[in-house]
Amino acid sequence: MKIKMILPALTEAKNPYWRPIKYSLFPPLGLATLAAYGSAHDEIDLQDEHVEKLNINDSPDLVVIQVYITNAYRSYALADHYRKKGVYVCLGGLHVSSLPEEAMPHADSIFIGPGEDIFPQFLKDFRKKNPKRIYVNAKREIDDIPPIRRDLIKRNLYLVPNSIVVSRGCPHHCDFCYKDAFFEGGKSFYTQRVDAALKEID
Ligand code: B12
């Protein structure tokens, strides 16, 4: 199966006035994490619009887009573009988790919350030609996630290609941070096992 994964940029990333260099900091680990649930036969093309020109003149079997509030309209336009070509589109990430009803008209399937449990479930359903419209994350843990597909990341395009995520969630409430906008008063967080993190560093 041909799978296209896209992290759309935000306007600032494409406008020299805003010093786009800051958007070349870190690679899209979220999508590279999801890619790990594909099978060995799947051909995955991961594109990050912050650091490269998107090629959308292709016909993958499946398109997976990570949506933030700041790239939402761009994401919807990309989704509409591919759906018009009959390509199956999945939308997920922070903004879809916040406003699922807004994303729904632009997607074949939407995903709410982290993808570690719902994305592999979707791939199983999709291969059986019986995918659902909405998938909601139920399990919040990152103990046993498969190795992130770092081979799909174009390392030379990033200032910090070696970023890793060993925890999710945060007990603090900094006023500049989006966290409380998503999880008011959120306190919990969960972590990867140290050995797994050390293995990833190795
Ligand atoms: C690295 C990073 C960046 C990088 C790369 C982004 C990326 N996606 O990789 C860059 C520099 C590009 C970036 C840019 C910005 N960022 Co930033 N970024 C982060 C950071 C530190 C890590 C992201 C990450 O790798 N998370 C770990 C991975 C594993 O999780 P994930 O990406 O969320 O993906 C998981 C789920 O969301 C889900 N998922 C995501 N997409 C999809 C799609 C499908 C189909 C499915 C099934 C599941 C799914 O499954 C994944 C695995 O569980 C986060 C804070 C954080 N710790 O998350 C802030 C964070 C996401 N960024 C933030 C902000 C404010 C921005 C900017 C607006 C900054 C600015 N002023 O320009 C821009 C917006 C970019 C845009 N295009 O809209 C905010 C919130 C963003 C928002 N708008 O909603 C955060 C939360 C920081 C904060 N605490 O406030 N960012």
Say if residues 115 and 167 touch (Cβ distance below 8 Å): no
Ligand 1 in reach of 93 Cβ (< 6 A): yes
The residue whose C-alpha atom lies closest to atom 6 belonging to ligand 1 is 28
Q: Given this model, what pLDDT does residue 22 score?
A: 81
Nearest alpha-carbon partner for 6 in 51, 47, 60, 61:
47
| Separation of CA 126 and ligand 1 centre (Å) | 26
In a mutational test of the pocket of ligand 1, which residue from 3, 66, 164 has the highest number of ligand atoms less than 8 Å from its CB? Answer: 66
Q: Given this model, what pLDDT does residue 30 score?
A: 97
Q: Given this model, what pLDDT does residue 179 score?
A: 86
Predicted TM-score (pTM) of this structure? 0.96
Tens-digit pLDDT string for the chain (202 aa): 999 999 999 877 777 777 677 888 999 999 999 999 999 999 999 999 999 999 999 999 999 999 999 999 999 999 999 999 999 999 999 999 999 999 999 999 999 999 999 999 999 999 999 999 999 999 988 888 899 999 999 999 999 999 998 889 899 999 888 888 888 888 889 999 899 999 999 9
Helix, strand and coil in the chain, % to nearest 5: 35, 15, 45
Ligand 1 in reach of 142 Cβ (< 6 A): no
Ligand 1 in reach of 157 Cβ (< 6 A): no
Q: By CB neighbour count within 10 A (0-12 exposed, 13-18 middle, 19+ buried), where does 67 fall?
A: buried
Q: Which domains does the chain have, with CATH numbers?
A: 2-141 (3.40.50.280)
Q: Given this model, what pLDDT does residue 19 score?
A: 66
